[in-house]
Amino acid sequence: MALSMTGYGRGEATYTTRRYLVEIKSVNNRFCDISVRMPRGYAALETKIREKITDKLLRGKIDVFITIEDVGDGNSTVEMNTGLAKAYSEAVAKISEITGRPDESDAYQIARFPDVLLARANSLTPEEAGAELLPVLDAAIEDILRMRSIEGEKLKSDLLEKVSVFESLHAAVKLRAPQVPGEYRERLMARVDELLDDKAKIVYDETRREAEVALFADKCAIDEELTRLSSHINQLRETLMGNGSIGKRLDFILQEMNREVNTIGSKANDLTITNYVLDMKTELEKIREQIQNLA
């Protein structure tokens, strides 16, 4: 099954007073580039989260957003930084002494200074956190996989259509290629007759002409390139019908196909084939653009 690299998935669950929300967004990327944003207390699970995502999503720029809300009583504590509070109080008193202004600060005002009071959620152990969070992550992964598979099937259908267009151009070149030496022979004879008139047969005999045609036919022979190109077309189709990460393999096959098409264009020495080659390169570029979306 072909998978797109673009998608969105969501998982959600509630355990007692804790609500978990996991959102995953992915776009195209040559590698598996994962960014995880989650509460600090769950950082011990990041390695496991990355392993699960890499194993399932394969490739893409993947952003993971994890939100955890705990609304239960007694699940949070407020910590006081007594040393910092004392330092603030002494600093305020010193300012009062230096400026001659009255010190009107009270405990409430000092408590509002930065980092004097810190609210912290009572954290779970890594085992407890994993037991609650990881199933929600699995649900989000399955959700994004559904979206990526639907989009991937659409891309595969479009690519198969483009491959069929390319194959028809390949068939046209294959049909045209044997005609090129014969037409060259006719042009050569007409040119020699035009230049040498009635002395043509004396100066440029049949043996020399056929040798010239044979040399031309050898230089413009593209049978091997057409055979390899046919094999690449079959590989392209087989890979598109396969499972797993197929994007990189398709990209490699496409590079080989482009190399064969370029060789055909440089060797053919025929305007009709050259036009076919231009059309083939256009289709290959269309296929290449679509392949970039596959995992």
Is the residue at 91 inside a domain?
Answer: yes
* Other beta carbons within 10 Å of 147: 17
Torsion (CA) 127, 131, 137, 139 in degrees, nearest 10? 170
Q: Does residue 196 share a domain with residue 104?
A: no
pLDDT score at 272: 94
Q: Encoding tokens for residue 245?
A: 């990460």
CB-based contact 44:126 (threshold 8 Å): yes
- Asked if residue 227 and residue 130 are part of one domain, the reply reads no
Q: Are residues 183 and 226 in the same domain?
A: yes
H-helix or E-strand spanning residue 262: helix 247-268
Same domain (yes/no): 144, 157: no
pLDDT by residue for the chain (295 residues), tens only, comes to 789 999 999 999 998 888 999 999 999 998 999 999 998 778 889 999 999 999 999 999 999 999 988 776 656 678 889 998 899 898 988 888 898 888 888 888 888 899 888 766 656 788 888 999 999 999 999 999 999 999 999 999 999 999 999 999 999 999 999 888 777 666 666 665 555 555 555 555 566 666 665 666 667 789 899 999 999 999 999 999 988 889 999 999 999 999 999 999 998 888 999 999 999 999 999 999 999 999 8
Clarify whether residues 178 and 110 are in a common domain.
no
- Say what the pTM is: 0.71
Tell me if 198 is assigned to some domain. yes
Domain total for the chain? Answer: 3
Q: Tell me, yes or no, whether 60 and 186 share the same domain.
A: no
d(CA 157, CA 93) in angstroms, rounded, equals: 76
At 64 the three-state DSSP class reads strand
pLDDT value of residue 190: 64
Q: Is the dihedral of CA 234, 240, 243, 244 positive or negative?
A: positive
d(CA 149, CA 147): 5
Q: Which of 257, 256, 287 is nearest to 157 (CA)?
A: 287
The pLDDT value recorded for residue 159 is 96
Please name the helix (run of DSSP H) or strand (run of DSSP E) that holds residue 21, with its range, or none.
strand 18-27
Tokens of 293: 């979306």
Q: Is residue 162 part of a domain?
A: yes
Phi-psi region of 242 (alpha: psi -120 to 50; beta: other; left: phi over 0): beta
Terminal Cα-to-Cα distance of the chain (whole angstroms): 10
Q: Say if residue 282 is in the same domain as residue 249.
A: yes
Do both 174 and 226 map to the same domain? Answer: yes
| Domain carrying residue 199 | 151-291
CATH label of the domain that carries residue 54: 3.30.230.40
